[in-house]
Structure 1
Amino acid sequence: MIYIVIPVFNRWQFTKACVQNLLGQSYKDFKIVIVDDGSTDGTSEKLTVEFPEVKVLQGDGSLWWTGGINKGISYALENGATHVLSLNNDTLPTADYLEQLVLASKKKPNALIGSTGIDAETKEINFCGERIQWLTDSMLVLKDSLDEKDEKGLLEVTHFPGRGLLIPIAVFEAIGLFDKEHFPHYMADYDFTFRARKAGFAIYCCLEARLGTYPEASGANQLMAQKSLKNYKEHLFGMKGAANLKYYYTYVFRHCPLYLLPISATIGTLKRLTSYWVKPKHS
């Protein structure tokens, strides 16, 4: 039994489309849990009317991503889940999405299985996992080495985002939930998967499990798209800032090998200080 946990705050149209695609899955043995963290657009009420089969848990606006996902996971574990799928509402699962995740999980029973991101409009792959390069504080982006004949199977990775991650309950039993105290919004998923890998759980991306995405919909990318000193400050120190230095230092000191820590942290800091102005605006 898979419990699909989706933290949401407003953006009803994204949530509606995501749930509709989930209810049309070829694999049927799952339940949907949506954690609504104080939406003001009627999300909870609309879910109750349009999708009564969906379980809605309420937040008060203070959960953010990590608190929301943990609330949903706790409910799932209390109600007999064998696996939890963490998912974002701005995603569109293909019709065989869950089926492909389950097939991959049967091949690698104790592993965490991630999803392949595809552009919701063009259907081209835009993400299929990464491998960390601590020395240069960079990622080996696996999609860059793919060609069409290789777009099947499992790619082993060092970490994975929470957007479409199938997690066996054994992982929670071994390492606990996502770390809300140190990573209330961003980086909790990377931290969680690094901790899982250290505990002996492999992590893979399933190339057949396709998840439509809207890259520009994230709060971090919106900050990057509207460049200003105010947004730069939010980028480095705010809850929605993907380069938040406080969270970055906790993450790198926790997971980087000690002998690489000085150079990795230095390069990582410089990248976060400059990337906001270097990266182009989204069109």
Structure 2
Amino acid sequence: MLYIVIPVHNRLAYTRACLQSLREQTTSNFRVIVVDDGSTDGTSAALAAEFREVEVLTGNGNLFWTAGVNVGIRRALERGADRVMTLNNDVLAAPTFVARMLYWSNRYPNALLGALEQDANTHEPIYGGEVFNWVTHRRRELLRELTPEQQRGLHAVTYLPGRGLLIPAQVFAAVGLFDEARLPHYLADYDYTSVARRHGFPVYVNYDAHLLTYPDESGQEQTRRQRSVKGYYEHLFGIRGGGNLRNFTHFTLKNCPPPLVPVSLLNGYARRLVGYFLHK
């Protein structure tokens, strides 16, 4: 059985819409666990009343993304899950999303799978996975390389984000859970899928499964939207900072080939120090 784990903190309207999209799936062969980390907008009570099929676990507000999904994964495994999917609450699943993820998961039972992301407002594809080069520190975005005819089925990538990430249970047995001690929020998903790939588990984007996302609602975008000294500090050092130097250092030391660590760190630090001001 597939268990879908959704960590949330406030933003009840997004959570409602996400859960409603899961209700409208063409398959019902899954269960949903929401980890409500200290919401103050009545999330837990609303879900108990409106989505009785959803199991709600609660935190004290200090779990952040990584520890939140780990709480849900532990419960899913206790309940006998053979696959777990992490999903953000600010996404909408296309009606065939789960069915198409299960279709390919049944054919590649050891693979970690992500989905093609589309802008929720325009339905234009915006993320289809990437291949990362540690030497140049550049990302090859598959959406820019694949023809429309090629944008179907599975495509191998270096890592995957945690929004719509399907993980077979055997991966947890081999790798463990997400690294909540060193990567409490950002990069934990990229780190986990990179580690799993190095352990021999394939990592693919599934172009047949579609998620609708809101790119401007990510914590990184909100921090950068109004540039300021405080925002710059949060960008580099805050738990929700997309350029967090500590998180990047941990990620690089864990995943970069050792001979390339010095150049990759220098390149990455430079990009993070100046990227906040260059990003539009």
Alignment of 1:212-223 (within 5 A): 212-223=212-223
Distance 1:147 1:41 in 2: 44
* 1:20 corresponding residue in structure 2: 20
Query: What amino acid is the match of 1:204?
Result: Y
* 1:173 corresponding residue in structure 2: 173
Which deviations, in whole Å up to 9, do the C-alpha atoms of 1:56-80 show, x marking residues without a partner?
0000001000010000000000001
Q: Does residue 1:67 correspond to 2:30, yes or no?
A: no
* 2:93 corresponding residue in structure 1: 93
Distance 1:136 1:43 in 2: 44
Q: Does residue 1:115 correspond to 2:111, yes or no?
A: no
* 2:226 corresponding residue in structure 1: 226
* 2:242 corresponding residue in structure 1: 242
* 1:275 corresponding residue in structure 2: 275
Task: Give the alignment's TM-score, normalised by structure 2.
Answer: 0.99
The CA deviation at 1:181 is: 0.2
SS at match of 2:135: helix
Distance 1:230 1:198 in 2: 37
Distance 2:141 2:82 in 1: 30
SS at match of 2:230: helix
Distance 2:15 2:136 in 1: 37
- Matched positions, count: 280
Query: What amino acid is the match of 2:220?
Result: A
User: Conserved in 2, the CA contact under 8 Å of 1:137 and 1:265?
Assistant: no
Distance 2:128 2:170 in 1: 24
The CA deviation at 1:147 is: 2.5
Distance 1:147 1:159 in 2: 21
The CA deviation at 1:279 is: 0.8
Distance 2:254 2:20 in 1: 39
The CA deviation at 1:264 is: 1.2
* 2:263 corresponding residue in structure 1: 263
Segments of 4+ moved more than 3 angstroms: none
* 2:198 corresponding residue in structure 1: 198
Unaligned runs of 5+ in 2: none
Q: Does residue 1:9 correspond to 2:9, yes or no?
A: yes
SS at match of 1:177: coil
Distance 1:132 1:83 in 2: 26
Distance 1:165 1:27 in 2: 18
Query: What amino acid is the match of 2:144?
Result: D
Distance 1:53 1:255 in 2: 38
Task: Give the alignment's TM-score, normalised by structure 1.
Answer: 0.98
The CA deviation at 1:158 is: 1.2
Q: Does residue 1:131 correspond to 2:136, yes or no?
A: no
* 2:54 corresponding residue in structure 1: 54
SS at match of 1:85: strand
Distance 1:106 1:48 in 2: 32
Which deviations, in whole Å up to 9, do the C-alpha atoms of 1:129-161 show, x marking residues without a partner?
111110122211111112222221110011111
Distance 1:77 1:18 in 2: 23
- % of aligned pairs identical? 46
Query: What amino acid is the match of 1:169?
Result: A
Distance 1:249 1:136 in 2: 17
